Amino acid sequence: MSSLSFDNVFPAESGQLSEAVTHHASEAPRLPAHWNHCLPALIAEKRTASDASSWALSAPRRILDAVFAVVALVAFLPLMAFAALLVRFGSAGPVFFRQRRMGRNGKEFTLYKFRSMSASGSSDNGSCITVTGDTRITPVGALLRRYKLDELPQFWNVLRGDMCLVGPRPKLPHHEALHMDCRPGITGAATLAFRNEEDFLSEIPEEQLEVFYEMFVKPTKARLDLEYMRTATFAGDLKILWRTATSCLFSVDDALSISAATVAQFEAAQAVRRIRSTQPAPQRKAPRPSPPEMQHEMDFPRSSASPTTIA
């Protein structure tokens, strides 16, 4: 009997697409050295392996995740079939998007989503960051992303044991991701906090988008993920699931404060950078001799080769 695999259910051609992210692996931006003084305090925190809570690593949690995944796959099967048809006939390309992600303890797995971008995956500015109005997003994809329906196939990842319902979002293997003691999740604290990420990222100038994301968005997400893993509880997971459901169904946004604070940090850093760039560089002054040096100079005998007067 073949092992449980997504490829045994869906054909191979249903997802060899990378949504304009993987080919940018070698093009990650480097932060300018003169921006180091502007970094928020949370970046200074060293991203080390977290001590995950007992609930995050417990067997009952894994059982509940698997049961919920089965129920969700059965309940959402008609909706998923309809979404697959929309994606298939809405634009050229495969129905499913597949990508390698980093899972628990650094183990890689294949993540599944409904394709929401064009098959070409090329953007006007060459950025791998998605913002509102991105030309790569298809009309059907915009609808799916608005209600997070493109994430429904990830219940299969939960059933397989690659992911859980609540946890940090899985990172790309080539990115500097924080070490996860627990499985990555479909939703989580950082996911809710940055639910409108594409909207407020569209307010950042294109030439500064990559630096802004590296300096402010990623560290903030990492801190939220670390805090969740250390304090995860059953009641907390239920609360996150409820908030996720209500935000998707009724567009309830309760995380604008974090997004606004992140943008405010960036604007403050920009202001400091502009001020420093306008200030003239201080001129270096020659060091004044110390008293012993002065005394030594006074006691030093004069040269006997001084000019003489010829009579």
Whether the pLDDT of residue 144 is over 90: the answer is: yes
pTM of the model: 0.69
Evaluate if residue 292 carries a pLDDT over 50: yes
pLDDT-derived band of residue 117, with 50, 70 and 90 as boundaries?
A: very high
166 or 265, greater pLDDT: 166
Sort strands 96-102 and 108-114 into parallel, antiparallel or unpaired.
antiparallel
Structure tokens that stand for 137 in this block:
């997003």
Residue 253 has pLDDT above 50, yes or no: yes
Residue 117, beta-bridge partner list: 137
Q: Are 144 and 116 in contact (CB under 8 A)?
A: yes
Say if CB 96 and CB 113 are below 8 A apart: yes
Residue 109 is classified by DSSP as E
DSSP string, 48-80: ------TTTT-HHHHHHHHHHHHHHHHHTHHHH
Query: What pLDDT, on the 0 to 100 scale, is given for residue 122?
Result: 59
Q: How far, in Å, CA of 145 to CA of 83, rounded?
A: 11
Query: And the tokens for 225?
Result: 């993920």
More confident residue, 257 or 196: 196
Please give the C-alpha separations between residue 237 and each of 21, 74, 128, 191, 241, in angstroms, as whole numbers. 30, 22, 30, 13, 6
> Roughly how many angstroms between the first and final C-alpha of the chain, as a whole number?
120
pLDDT of residue 33: 46
Q: Is the pLDDT of residue 220 over 50?
A: yes
Mean pLDDT of the chain: 76
The stretch 235-239 carries a mean pLDDT of 95
| The pLDDT of residue 93 | 92
pLDDT at 257 over 70: no
Instruction: Give the pLDDT band (50/70/90) at residue 131.
Output: confident
Looking at per-residue pLDDT, the higher value among 11 and 254 belongs to 254
Give me the pLDDT at residue 12, please.
44
